[in-house]
A and B are shown apart, each in its own frame.
Chain A
Amino acid sequence: MIRLDKIQKKYDLGDTEVAALHEVSFEITAGEFVAIMGPSGSGKSTLMNIIGILDNATGGTYYLEDYDITALPDKEQARIRNTHFGFIFQSFNLFPELSAMENVMLPMSYAGVAYNERKKRAAELLDQVGLSHRMSHLPTMLSGGEQQRVAIARALSNKPNLILADEPTGNLPTDKGQEVLDILTDLHKQGTTIVMVTHNDAQGEMAQRVINIRDGLLASEVRR
């Protein structure tokens, strides 16, 4: 599904350059559950950004379904992010001005889904993550766990092929984190590809494959 070939990422800080990734190459097959692990500052988030085309690599080639998408125009990149990927962030990243329902509806509006259709699907998704009674609540009125479940519903709104989750449980107490993980495992069972960054070894065990990163290099890879 995704193939990275010698991907490099250097941050230009004016007088110095920080190399966050050195020639990382690996592949993600459809239907996989991949965990990315490594110490703080090793480049996990940088790698996630590149996989999710939130950032462009400064070297190497990115293949999506065998197409070279290393340097696509903004509009195409936005479309891929919108319809192929679903993002789940450590700090939830919901819009505080919008209700749970509206947060879930938002990515569908960029996909051109009609209002009523958006609304219907958002209600279904919120129901699916167990929040049918919280649809018109603003994020500030929801607990952390509930907020992250809204974020998952939002990530699923355009039926993505790939879920990218950067430390999705990092801001949650253990039991709420477990709820989120259960949802992800369910999604994986239904056929969704998942790439998740985690610091937690136990969570890593749930993945089929663990990629260890150290100082911007692929240190080791464990398959189960």
Chain B
Amino acid sequence: MNMKEDLTLSVRAMFLSPIESMLLILGLALSIGATASGFGMFGKAVEDGKQMLKLSEFREIVVRPKESAEDMLQPLVETSEDDDFNLDFEDLDAKSVSPAISYSYISSRTRLRINTSALLERIANREQPPEVQAEPQTEQSAQPTSPADAGQAQAAQPQQSQPQDGRPPEPSLEDLATVEGPEPTVDELAGYEVSDEFFMAMNINAAQGSVFTAQDVANGSKLLVLGANVAATLYEDGEAVGRQIASFDRIYTIIGALEETGTVYDDMFFTPSELASDSTGAQAARGPTGGGNESLHFSVDDATQLESAEAQLTSWFDSIYGVGMVSISVPREEAEAIISRNEKIAIITLVLALAGLLIASVNVSNILYSRTLRRRKQIGILKALGATRRDVFTMFLSEGGLLLVVGAVFGIAIVLAFSQILSSANGEGSFNYLAVALGVLVSSIITLAFTVVPALQAAKVPPAEAMRVE
């Protein structure tokens, strides 16, 4: 590269005082790295917050029965029978209290145990006592059956299908439904029982097939809609829609696969809520996980209306169940509190980083200034040979700039290292890289501003310095 000789001079001078130059670069790298990371963290906090609040979950009001834990606080108080209640499907009518509420649905967590061939085999084995199995066939055929033996064997069979010792009844083989077709890759799925407006409230569409309708829910149809990941992995061939799944005595039909959402819903299945159609007896049939965790969700289009809708819902539920009997929460409020806390932490980090940057910049400025003092004679000679003030200024600013560029490169390496540490801790990108770039830019401009002062001092050195003889 054919640099002008004064720049060559600058660069070589830097290499001739390597310790000083390296300290300067280290200081700059650390402060630029810290500042840019601070910017990146803050940017990420803001971005995440925005992203999070965009989720449909945060435009909902959630209604649940009061926690049973709360009942336990006053066990001595006489409790009425009515205390133990579940919200029911009709409560979704509360939607009409506010025009702001566009959708309402009921939701409860559930699991689906699949009648896989492994399960069937295990139950079949349990129904055949080991003694009978172990009995050698040859003995049975070779010796004419003794009456005692034959009677024992016949008595053994029916005995086995009876429940023993008060243990809960095991499903027997003939109770279990079976379906044709390929075997699912898992034997259990997690999901939600929901009513039809869930899909509209969450704004999730079917990527394949369809979601279920209000009619399906009312009929209590045994349907499944699968989240994107479940749909893709449930069968080895990746095809799910149209197939059937047997669970206990029921057969479910998979009618749809959802588009990918990037949320937990991708790993879930959805089935029509049985609360909508069942008589009370169905509650027990749904097994140990069903029931008791229902929540009603009311979703608004415009988040600013959450508060008024919440107030209207509260008075509606209070009038039906009595004041304070249901808990009404707005997840958005909790999310906003967390987001604002994260943003504040990021701002504090940023301020600390900027303080470091300021200290480093002042140091750079100082060292450059003392260099200027040491180089008065050199500047005088440059001017005697024809350098203008501007030439000298440019030269000294370039020196600061060069240190800055090298410092910034190492600073960016520090940012990447921080990012690595953070993302191995929380499993995702931890910085907003646009903000990191902005941070590098801002800290570079601040540092450069601090190198302007010594460069101006250098430019002022009089040319007569060249003549001085020490």
- The 0/1 profile, CB within 8 Å of A marked 1, for residues 437-470 of chain B is 0000000000000000000000000111011011
Contact across chains for B385 and A54 when beta carbons are under 8 A apart: no
Is there a chain B Cβ closer than 8 Å to A43's Cβ?
Answer: no
Q: How far is the CA of A106 from the CA of B8 in the complex (A)?
A: 10
The 8 Å CB contact of B389, one of A74, A91, A95, A158, is A74
How many angstroms between the C-alpha atoms of A52 and B378 in the bound complex? 17
Chain A 69-102 near chain B by CB (<8 Å), digits 1 or 0: 0000011001101110001011101010110001
Distance of A93 Cα from B383 Cα, bound (Å): 12
Q: Tell me if B391 is interfacial: C-beta within 8 Å of chain A.
A: yes
Inter-chain contact A110/B467, CB cutoff 8 Å:
no
Any chain B CB within 8 A of the CB of A115?
yes
Confirm or deny: B428 has a beta carbon within 8 angstroms of a beta carbon on chain A: no
1/0 per residue, CB under 8 A from B, across A38-78: the answer is 00000001001100111100000000000000000011001
Q: Which residues of A contact B383 (CB under 8 A)?
A: 54, 78, 81
Given known contacts A78-B383, A98-B8, A106-B5, A55 and B462 CB-to-CB distance under 8 angstroms:
yes
Q: Nearest chain A CB to B6's CB is how many angstroms away?
A: 7
B366-410 at interface with A (beta carbon < 8 Å): 377-378, 380-391
**Interface residue? B126 (CB, 8 A):** no
Partner of A95, one of B381, B386, B469: B381
Q: Contacts of B12 on A, CB cut-off 8 Å?
A: 97-98
Chain A 148-186 interface 0/1 with B at a Cβ cutoff of 8 Å (1 = within): 000000100010000000100000000000000000000
A107 to B385 Cα, complex, angstroms: 5
- Measured between beta carbons, the chain B residues less than 8 angstroms from A98 are 5, 8-9, 12
Q: How distant is the Cα of A78 from the Cα of B378 in the complex, in angstroms?
A: 15
Complex alpha-carbon distance, A115 and B12, angstroms: 19
Q: Is B16 an interface residue (CB 8 A)?
A: yes
Find chain B residues with CB under 8 A from A109 CB: 4-6
**Separation of A53 and B388 alpha carbons in the complex (Å):** 13
Is B13 on the interface with A (CB-CB < 8 A)? yes
* B462–A54 touching, CB < 8 Å: yes
Q: Which residues of A contact B470 (CB under 8 A)?
A: 91
- CB of A207 within 8 Å of the partner chain: no
Assess the B378–A95 pair: CB atoms within 8 A. Answer: yes
**Interface of chain A, main secondary structure:** helix
- Tell me, rounded to whole Å, the shortest Cβ–Cβ distance linking B210 to chain A: 74
* Closest chain B residue, CB of each to CB of A110: B386
Assess whether A110 is in contact with B466, with CB atoms less than 8 Å apart: no
C-alpha spacing A49/B468, complex, angstroms: 10
Q: Are A110 and B385 in contact (CB under 8 A)?
A: yes
B2 at the interface (CB under 8 A from A): yes
A105 contacts partner chain B, Cβ-Cβ < 8 Å: yes
- Ranked nearest first, the 10 interchain pairs of A and B with the lowest CB-CB distance are A82-B386, A110-B386, A97-B12, A106-B5, A115-B2, A78-B388, A54-B463, A55-B464, A107-B385, A109-B4
| Interfacial residues, chain B to chain A (CB-CB below 8 A) | 2, 4-6, 8-9, 12-13, 16, 377-378, 380-391, 462-464, 466-467, 469-470
Supplied contacts A52-B384, A98-B12, 19 more A-B pairs, CB within 8 Å: A49-B464, A54-B462, A54-B467, A74-B388, A78-B387, A78-B389, A81-B384, A81-B463, A87-B466, A89-B381, A95-B9, A97-B13, A98-B8, A105-B5, A106-B382, A107-B386, A110-B386, A110-B391, A154-B385
Task: List 23 contacting pairs A-B, 8 Å CB cutoff, sorted by A.
Answer: A45-B467, A55-B463, A74-B389, A78-B386, A78-B391, A81-B383, A81-B386, A89-B381, A91-B469, A93-B381, A95-B381, A97-B9, A98-B9, A102-B8, A105-B5, A106-B6, A106-B382, A106-B385, A107-B385, A107-B386, A109-B5, A110-B385, A110-B387
